[in-house]
Amino acid sequence: MTKLALWLALVPWAIAQTTPNFTGVWELNPAKSHPTRPDANMRIKIDQQGPDFGVTFRNVERGETQEESLKFAAGQESKNQMHGAPMTSHTEWDGATLVVRSVAVFSGKELRLNNRWSLSPDGNTLTFVERHQFGDSPEEEDTHVLDRRPGNSWEPSAPPKLAEEVYKNIQIMKGVPAPRLRLVMTNLTTWLGVRCDHCHVVNEFEKDDKPAKETARKMFKMVRTINQDNFPGTGPVTCWTCHRGQAKPQSLPPQQL
């Protein structure tokens, strides 16, 4: 073989080598991370198959385990929910570093994330540098250094807590998983074109002081009944069907109002 042919034969190997496999169970090393958070308890489980990444975060805060699973695909756009907010991500390899750029929208404000994942040469340390910028706040950077843990150290997921176990004043959403309640709340703002404070005393979400909250409860029951009585099994009617981004839906076409 000529030198050139040898080179060419090695090229595919060299390219394959530049995209490492992050599959495994990883635990935050708070001492090596920046900013250091000695009390932080975060683990990440990654399943990587070809371009597809399944990433599950588990955080323990004040004795409560919070879990969130995201899916990404290298070279593609992916849609996920982050803390109940819709998030769009673009994922690509930059050499041996996986770059995930995401925008999540929390009540109209954008959280922009630029995350870079890389593996140490021995494969036992995963570094995840997160640049985040929310609304008009200045950009910040966190470095999370994670150590590899045995694959069997990841316990199966506990079923999510129900809304009534987490929140204080649940009347109509009993039996709904708590993360789902947050998602519904975020959707309500879009469907009705309002903010949280239309229905809530902010930061005292359990209070029933605003009439719109009680109206919303009645509307949920109404929508349930409409669907059960007319569209069994499919449930196509939602708040959006009538509201279309307005607090008060139109009853007649505009020229007849």
The residues binding ligand HEC (CB under 6 A) are 107, 167-173, 185-186, 188-189, 192, 194, 196, 198-200, 205-206, 212-213, 215-217, 219-220, 223, 237, 239, 241-243, 247-249
Pick the closer one to ligand HEC by CB: 155 or 229.
229
What number of other Cβ atoms are within 10 A of residue 41's Cβ?
13
In contact, 43 and 152? CB cutoff 8 Å? no
Q: Which is nearer to ligand HEC, 154 or 205 (CB)?
A: 205
From the number of C-beta atoms within 10 Å of its C-beta (0-12, 13-18, 19+), residue 131 rates as middle
What is the 8-class DSSP label of residue 52?
A: E
Report helix, strand or coil for 246.
coil
Residue closer to ligand HEC, measured from CB, 41 or 246: 246
Q: How far is the CB of 34 from ligand HEC (least distance, A)?
A: 30
Query: C-beta of 42: minimal distance to ligand HEC in Å?
Result: 23
Asked if residue 87 lies in contact with residue 81, where contact means CB atoms within 8 angstroms, the answer is yes
Minimal CA–CA distance to 81: which of 203, 180, 193? 180
Q: What angle do CA 83, 86, 88 make, to 5 degrees?
A: 115
Shortest Å distance, C-beta 108 to ligand HEC: 10
Pick between residue 99 and residue 162 the one whose CB is nearest to ligand HEC: 162
Residue with smaller CB distance to ligand HEC, 62 or 168: 168
Q: C-alpha dihedral over 213, 214, 218, 220, to 10 degrees?
A: 30
3-state DSSP assignment of residue 2: coil
Question: Closest approach of Cβ 257 to ligand HEC, in Å?
Answer: 12
Q: Which one, 74 or 188, has the nearer CB to ligand HEC? A: 188
Nearer CB in complex with ligand HEC: 103/223: 223
DSSP element (H, E) containing 10: helix 3-18
Q: Give the pairing of strands 125-134 and 109-119.
A: antiparallel
Minimum CB separation from ligand HEC for residue 143, in Å? 30
Helices (H), 124-174: 163-166
DSSP, res 249? -
- CB 194 to ligand HEC: min, Å: 5
Least CB distance to ligand HEC at residue 231 (A):
12
